[in-house]
Structure 1
Amino acid sequence: MAGINVPIGPAIVEYGEGVDMVTFDITKGGIVFTTTNSKQDVTVDQYGDTVVKSIYKGGTAQVTVPFALYDLEKLSKVTPNSTYVTGSGGKEKLEVRASAGLNLLDTAKKLVIKPTDPSATANDWITIPIAGAIVDHNYAYDSDNERITPVTFVAYPDIDDDGLLFIMGDETATAV
């Protein structure tokens, strides 16, 4: 008897491409992909508050990655206005400036969510062609909780690809 294949399990996130790619592969709490769509409901006097049609106004997408490692080099790739510094003897630091006005679109990169299930294929991936990153550090120093860095990636429309916001499945698939 065939069962129902409902996918569950963790994933990794690849951000950037080539030598600039950083992989977020240790998480705590699950990677979350969220989309939100907005519409304008249209009413006319003759039908009171009854909606006579709705117009799609646009959508947003974002990915939240609860990164579970204290890896300053990786965090530097997603922390705006930051500089990663290494010194002798294995010393390192991440300096974060309070400079306002950084356009996150200028630092945006490709993002791919890949489930770690051994049977997962590219058909299971989610790709955001242009994703901007922002980090809200919030560490609890206690014996009961892991220190998690929530990294949020915001999708921006790819103007060169007719406003493509995200792809669910194999991005290389083409119509036959």
Structure 2
Amino acid sequence: MRQSHVRFLGFSAFLLLGLNACSTAPSHAPIDDRTSRPPSTESAPEPRADNRIKNEPVIVESLPEQATIEAITPPTPKKQNPAVIALLASAQQSTDNGNLPAAQNQLQRAQRIAPSDPEVYYSLAQTHLALDNYGLAEQVTLKGISVANGQTDKLKKLWFLMAKIKLRAGDANGAEEAQRKAQSYL
């Protein structure tokens, strides 16, 4: 008991000294009086004749009458991976045969191989829509839109699909908005 009491007093004294050191008043150092400075012995440099601004007319060459403007070309889509092409074809065949879960699995595999291919997202979203999974179809379509950067034909196709998804899900306002966005790519 006595030992803990001694520790407590030692710790308290340490805290008091530490806090006291933090709260000391600042010392004031004298400020130099700079108002009564002796005049400088250096004189200001005299302006030279060559340092002056010259007022001379400037001759501006005219632009050519017919300027050529280069059109900005959108980024070209990357060539599809052969494995992705095969998986898309296989998924389409599975969809035609009515085997939507198999098509979904093949498209998810294609997505893992080519995560930046908007065509894969378009096909996968169509499969989710056919399975009446509107939320997932919308998410996949939005991902396709985000990876279709600059590919207006793909963006148009994906926004029309989004309008179809929204309409089937009962969101008429969302369908109209998606339709407007799709038509902006026409």
* Greater RCO (CA < 8 Å, at least 6 residues apart): 1
Q: Which has the higher helix share?
A: 2
Tell me which interval the TM-score lies in, with the shorter structure as reference length.
Answer: under 0.3
* Structure index of larger Rg: 2
Return the TM-score normalized by structure 2: 0.24
Q: Which has the higher strand share?
A: 1
Return the TM-score normalized by structure 1: 0.25
